[in-house]
């Protein structure tokens, strides 16, 4: 069985972060390992607090797993601090031949900051050329591209800018635009637009789920465009099968 590694935060609700990544990996037939960067106090509705672990502990977690596991792919989610981001960049650079997917978590879905401001401005510089794909949502896309993203055309331009700055193909997730959902992949000189019907359910952890699913399909041998297509379709299925978690939010349910 191939191994995938998630480097991300711990969500005690199990609806996002490392906990969700490992369940997605398992559903695709992989064994998962997890390196925690942060511990949060949250549920599916809101974040109460976040504590970012020291970069030295992030490094020791990774080194312990690296001694035992040969990784077929790495997914990065919430890193929390500039020091952790630099450590994660070193880990990614040590594995240039395997798929690596970055979900640049900057804020929680309720709007609370999850990455130090000084790390946001350094984000693309530190991960430059060290991943297979980066998957920002619209708010993250605006912050990383320094372009207000309000339309599909804006998404295309922002994806180009992020790819140019990071030397990483970019999938901009357009779930917060009105109408059908549109995601835009910029890969080299090519732009691919994925359109799909909106599922009328607010689900915790969709960004984590999608990036973990794409990594799984990449590690299974799919090309980048096909892995994105399958990951998007898998996420939509997961949203349709999600279960209530309180209020108007839901969480993913397994098996899918």
**Which CATH number belongs to the domain containing residue 17 in this structure?**
3.40.1190.20
Confidence of residue 176 (pLDDT cuts 50, 70, 90): confident
The answer to the question of residue 141 being in a domain is yes
The answer to the question of residue 88 being in a domain is yes
Distance of CA 170 to the CA centre of its chain: 12
The answer to the question of residue 124 being in a domain is yes
Reading the block at residue 5, the tokens are 């590694």
Would you say residue 171 has pLDDT above 80? Answer: yes
Would you say residue 180 has pLDDT above 90? Answer: no
Domain tally, the chain: 1
Mean pLDDT rounded to a whole number for the chain: 94
Its pTM stands at 0.96
Confidence of residue 175 (pLDDT cuts 50, 70, 90): confident
Range(s) of the domain holding residue 203:
3-251
pLDDT of 112 reads: 80
The answer to the question of residue 256 being in a domain is no
SS3 state at 223 = coil
Confidence of residue 239 (pLDDT cuts 50, 70, 90): very high
The answer to the question of residue 159 being in a domain is yes
Confidence of residue 102 (pLDDT cuts 50, 70, 90): very high
Q: C-alpha dihedral over 176, 16, 131, 88, to 10 degrees?
A: 130
SS3 state at 256 = coil
pLDDT of 177 reads: 79
Residue matched to tokens 């997917």: 101
149 contacts 118 by C-beta, under 8 angstroms: no
pLDDT of 197 reads: 81
Residue matched to tokens 């960049």: 89
pLDDT of 51 reads: 95
The answer to the question of residue 42 being in a domain is yes
């Amino acid at each position: 069985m191939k191994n995938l590694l998630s480097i991300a935060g711990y969500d005690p609700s199990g609806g996002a972060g490392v906990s969700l990544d490992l369940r997605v990996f398992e559903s695709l037939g992989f064994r998962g390992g997890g390196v925690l960067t942060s511990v949060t106090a949250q549920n599916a509705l809101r974040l109460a607090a976040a504590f970012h672990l020291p970069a030295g502990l992030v490094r020791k977690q990774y080194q312990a797993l690296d001694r035992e596991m040969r990784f077929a792919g790495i997914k990065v989610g919430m890193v929390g601090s500039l020091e952790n981001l630099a450590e994660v960049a070193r880990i990614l650079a040590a594995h240039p031949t395997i798929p690596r997917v970055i979900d640049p978590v900057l804020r929680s879905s309720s709007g609370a900051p999850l990455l130090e401001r000084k790390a946001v401005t350094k984000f693309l510089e530190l991960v430059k050329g060290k991943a297979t794909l980066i998957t920002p949502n619209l708010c993250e896309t605006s912050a990383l591209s320094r372009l207000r993203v309000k339309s599909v055309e804006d998404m295309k331009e922002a994806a180009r800018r992020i790819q140019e700055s990071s030397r990483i193909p970019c999938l901009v997730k357009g779930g917060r635009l009105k109408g059908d959902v549109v995601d835009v992949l910029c890969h080299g000189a090519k732009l691919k637009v994925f359109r799909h019907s909106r599922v009328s359910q607010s689900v915790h952890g969709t960004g984590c789920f999608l990036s973990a699913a794409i990594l799984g399909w990449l590690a299974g041998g799919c090309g980048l465009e096909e892995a994105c297509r399958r990951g998007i379709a898998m996420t939509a299925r997961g949203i349709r099968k999600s279960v209530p978690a309180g209020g108007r939010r839901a969480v993913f349910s397994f098996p899918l």
